[in-house]
Amino acid sequence: CMNDMFPASYAWGNFTVLAVGIWAIVQRDSLDAIIMFLTGLLLTVLTDIIHISVFYPPNNHLTDVKRFSMGMAIFSLLLKPVSCYLVYRMYRERGGE
């Protein structure tokens, strides 16, 4: 649905962070994986804000599919600080300082 609204960098950034997150969950003893995941989450929060603000369509071109896609992108952005907090707690549990 977002193929015609956002550039490919939006999907690539979020899917890359998802892959690093899976790596961080699988490698339970690695602090590097969890730091990379936390850094990636924080970076995608910033890039998501930029993507949504730059590529939000005008009202006269807003179809139901585009409205739903933008709503899901905004919802994902709103959940990322919660994810950052939970990943930070995982970092602290693994012995991070």
Residue 5: predicted pLDDT: 81
Give the rounded percent of residues in the chain with a pLDDT score beyond 90.
Answer: 56
* Degrees, nearest 5: CA angle 91-25-16: 100
Q: What is the largest CA-CA distance in the chain?
A: 52
pTM: 0.85
Residue 62: predicted pLDDT: 81
Task: Show me where the domains of the chain are located.
Answer: 30-95
